[in-house]
A and B are shown apart, each in its own frame.
Chain A
């Protein structure tokens, strides 16, 4: 009886295997690597169905840091990129990994810190802010993960002609995502650089009364440009370059540009379309 039971269990398992492996037909798909900010804000959840409706192409994406997104493209594992690290992108295209880099939208970064603002940076320029932060009396929390935001921060140090801190005691490198980094900055009562989208979410999460406040904003240096890049079919012969081109044209087109401008996070506009 026991053995019989064993056989029956085995049969059920086999049936289940058949059920799980039942084939389904795959429609036209496009694989994109993008940054966590476009995914976490819900922009892609909003745009993807519209894209599929217009073109019949199913958009799949993996949301990773810009560094990893570029690497996935280099290895031909995705067809198109939506990223925000202009310098790295230009170099990427120059090295022949991507083609047709097109700027499609921007949002901006803000420098935030405890409302008491012990380093007195409120309303100052980025240059002045970094100078004051570098005195080292108050913690500065960095992503430290090669993401677009981290690259932005590094370029701000560079443009200000200051040494990028590394092992200094005031400089905390989290190696984590933006929201996790904000949480750490809050615990440490530190300053940090964040994209506005994540800040809006954080503000909302704190019930509109966050401990970290926007102190520096609107400086031209803080503009965060997003671009779409098609993977170079010369480098990756099997890439779905046709669909990638359709997507790039679509997102840079009039309709999608308007939709991007209409997209609101907690009633605040997040991205400003600027495709040429």
Chain B
């Protein structure tokens, strides 16, 4: 099992030598996860907030659906996305198959339930006395809303990071929708799958470590923001 040591060594070499293929995969991964995270946060945080904050008919059922969607398998999303985006599919005219935006849509479907469910949970866990206190202090509705959002910011950070972890690490969607096209839609995870298929286990391990390194940097950045936002 000399792969393990070789993998670590290779990871360092790939980064230090500025290996073009690796950087192309890193760029694709960052780009596509940026798209999908932006979309799922913009759509997910307000929806999750409403789902936790507002009482409406069928709320329980909606929650049940969202929680079920947490178990969406990525290969299944990939397959459904392919069916829709294929030139023979209903959305084929948009030309999104084998593109990064196509992958991003699939990843948004993956991340959205996570963001919604976890932000809703954060709202539900919020101290109910906050609202009464705010009302008694004479706050208007907008102020109540903003203060509540502010109160649950840590929950939202956790939601975002969890979703980011899923998006960064999925293979099923990127492989099926993106097609693992070199220099274009090859992400780190599909590159790992390819290298494993080629039997280049050390390179696969190296790429996995590169992915972890990126996740580490992202988490450092987030924790820096969190500190600023105490």
Write the residues of chain A forming the contact surface with B, with a CB cutoff of 8 angstroms.
2, 5-6, 9, 13, 16-17, 20, 31, 36, 39-40, 45, 60-64, 74-77, 176-180, 182-183, 198, 201-202, 205, 236, 238
B98 touches A36 (CB 8 A): no
Per-residue contact bits, chain B 99-129, to A (CB 8 Å; 1 contact, 0 not): 0000000000000000000000000000000
A202 touches B87 (CB 8 A): no
B31 touches A179 (CB 8 A): no
Interchain CA distance A74-B87 in the complex, whole Å: 10
- How many residue pairs link A and B with beta carbons under 8 A? The number is 65
Q: Write the nearest CB–CB distance from A256 to chain B, whole angstroms.
A: 19
B87 touches A179 (CB 8 A): no
A residues less than 8 Å from B89 (CB atoms): 75
Q: Flag whether B26 is at the interface (Cβ < 8 A).
A: no
Choose, from B130-138, B177-185, B207-215, the stretch at the interface: B177-185
Interchain CA distance A187-B182 in the complex, whole Å: 32
Q: List 28 A-B contacts (CB under 8 A).
A: A5-B228, A5-B229, A6-B229, A16-B34, A17-B38, A20-B35, A39-B194, A40-B194, A45-B182, A60-B98, A61-B181, A62-B98, A62-B181, A63-B194, A64-B179, A75-B86, A76-B88, A76-B92, A77-B86, A77-B87, A77-B98, A177-B197, A178-B197, A179-B199, A180-B197, A182-B199, A183-B199, A236-B87
Interchain CA distance A238-B92 in the complex, whole Å: 11
Q: Flag whether B216 is at the interface (Cβ < 8 A).
A: no
For chain B residues 192-206, which have a beta carbon within 8 Å of chain A? 194, 196-199
B229 touches A2 (CB 8 A): yes
Q: What residue of chain A has the Cβ atom nearest to residue B27's Cβ?
A: A20
Write the residues of chain B forming the contact surface with A, with a CB cutoff of 8 angstroms.
31, 34-35, 38, 86-89, 92, 97-98, 179-182, 184, 194, 196-199, 225, 228-229
A205 touches B199 (CB 8 A): yes
B residues less than 8 Å from A31 (CB atoms): 98
A180 touches B196 (CB 8 A): yes
B residues less than 8 Å from A6 (CB atoms): 229
Interchain CA distance A40-B97 in the complex, whole Å: 23
Q: Name A20's contact: one of B34, B181, B196, B225 (CB within 8 Å).
A: B34
A residues less than 8 Å from B198 (CB atoms): 40, 179, 201
Interchain CA distance A213-B92 in the complex, whole Å: 47
Interchain CA distance A61-B184 in the complex, whole Å: 10
User: A77-B97, A179-B198 are contacts. A60–B184 as well, Cβ < 8 Å?
Assistant: yes
Q: Name B87's contact: one of A2, A36, A75 (CB within 8 Å).
A: A75
Known: A36-B197, A76-B86; 17 extra A-B contacts, CB below 8 A, are A2-B228, A2-B229, A5-B229, A6-B229, A13-B38, A20-B35, A60-B181, A60-B182, A61-B181, A61-B182, A63-B194, A76-B92, A77-B87, A178-B197, A179-B196, A179-B198, A201-B198
A residues less than 8 Å from B34 (CB atoms): 16-17, 20
A62 touches B180 (CB 8 A): yes
Interchain CA distance A13-B89 in the complex, whole Å: 33
- CB-CB nearest 10 A-B residue pairs: A62-B179, A179-B199, A76-B87, A177-B197, A75-B88, A75-B86, A40-B198, A60-B181, A20-B31, A77-B86
Interchain CA distance A176-B199 in the complex, whole Å: 12
B residues less than 8 Å from A202 (CB atoms): 199
Q: What residue of chain B has the Cβ atom nearest to residue A183's Cβ?
A: B199
A40 touches B184 (CB 8 A): no
A40 touches B197 (CB 8 A): yes
B residues less than 8 Å from A178 (CB atoms): 197
Interchain CA distance A236-B89 in the complex, whole Å: 13
Interchain CA distance A39-B186 in the complex, whole Å: 13
Interchain CA distance A182-B34 in the complex, whole Å: 38
